[in-house]
Amino acid sequence: MAWPLHKPVLLEEAIHFLNPAPGQKIVDATIGGGGHAEQMLQRISPGGTLIGIDRDSESLKMAHERLKPLGGSFKLINKNFRFLREIISDLKIGGLDGILFDLGISSIQMETPQRGFSIRSPGPLDMRMDRNQTLTAKELINSLTESEIASLIKDLGEERFYRRIARAIVSARKRKEFENTAELARIICSSIPYSRRRWRIHPATRTFQALRIRVNDELFAIEEVLKEVPGFLKKGGRLCVISFHSLEDRIVKNALRELKAKGSFSVLTKKPVRPGPEEILRNPRSRSARLRAAVKL
């Protein structure tokens, strides 16, 4: 099967900060379609090992097809990265030289309408990264109370019009249960003042973000695993995290600040590294990306 090509965000920058070299052991904790992993595997060969983790089994299949021709040593694990301690323990690989987290959803997931992540392409209200889990966006949007929906959109979407959107959603579902992304996006757009609809991003973006984060319990998983990272890296080992919105970036920033305060890490990025104009032109989805990195002392 021919898979669509994954577009890795901040690729050169991630490779620069991770500085992979032959013989190293590196974890790509969110391997997606394998764009970052491809470059890392080439640089740690010969003698190195790449461990690729993803909760999405379809992404792992794409990554395998991309990495197989390179001939290097790699292992792919179908789990949530929050279980990184368990994964490292089971593999018995010892200290790591680098860990990369590329948070959020991949371009592959976004461009596959039936996954339900896209605002612009009609699809079922799914939004599950792991399709084996039961909770979906459809269940949330059709069962939560108006106040619960409002809180969700406010806290996880940082949406200014959270009350108006929640009220419109509850009113609409009294007539008909929400089934797909197009229905939801249309109701969200209609609830926002007309003068505010011509924003740089689609008016439903923040609400969709909130639902996706809640469905996949993303923020707690990031917070949880970053506390454990020091125990996985050897001295000189590097941590690189790419986030896509302020909620993720705030968690990463605070985690690195705590590691620095303890004297166990040196932060390599005084400010988050952002994509340049050329990358944004090639891949518009990269515009919100922010990279932070640190090295273990």
Confirm whether 195 is domain-assigned.
yes
Supply the mean pLDDT for the chain.
92
Do 229 and 211 reside in the same domain of the chain?
no
Confirm whether 1 is domain-assigned.
no
Do 130 and 99 reside in the same domain of the chain?
no
**Token pair of 190, please?**
């209609």
The answer to whether residue 218 scores a pLDDT higher than 70 is yes
Tens-digit pLDDT profile for residues 25-37: 999 999 988 999 9
Looking at residue 203, which CATH number applies to its domain?
Answer: 1.10.150.170
Domain housing 61: 11-108+218-296
Task: Give the neighbor-by-neighbor strand order of the sheet with 96-102.
Answer: 73-77, 49-53, 25-28, 96-102, 233-243, 290-296, 265-267
Q: Give the Cα separation of 63 and 3 in Å (integer).
A: 10
Tens-digit pLDDT profile for residues 81-94: 999 999 999 998 88
Do 233 and 152 reside in the same domain of the chain?
no
Do 265 and 136 reside in the same domain of the chain?
no
The C-alpha R_g of the chain, in whole angstroms, comes to 20
User: Checking DSSP bridges between strand 265-267 and strand 290-296, what pairing results, if any?
Assistant: antiparallel
Nearest one of 181, 148, 158 to 248, comparing CA atoms:
158
Do 68 and 187 reside in the same domain of the chain?
no
Confirm whether 133 is domain-assigned.
yes
Confirm whether 128 is domain-assigned.
yes
Tens-digit pLDDT profile for residues 222-234: 999 999 999 999 9
Nearest one of 257, 279, 169, 159 to 213, comparing CA atoms:
159
Tens-digit pLDDT profile for residues 138-156: 999 999 999 999 999 999 9
Cis peptide before 203 (omega within 30 of 0): no
Would you state the pLDDT for residue 2?
A: 44
Confirm whether 3 is domain-assigned.
no
Q: For the whole model, what pTM was predicted?
A: 0.91
Confirm whether 179 is domain-assigned.
yes
Quick one: pLDDT band at residue 12, thresholds 50, 70, 90?
very high
Nearest one of 49, 62, 60, 57 to 2, comparing CA atoms:
62
* Number of domains observed in the structure of the chain: 2
| Whole-number percent of the chain with pLDDT over 70 | 96
Tens-digit pLDDT profile for residues 229-272: 999 999 999 999 999 999 999 999 999 999 999 999 999 999 99
Looking at residue 56, which CATH number applies to its domain?
Answer: 3.40.50.150
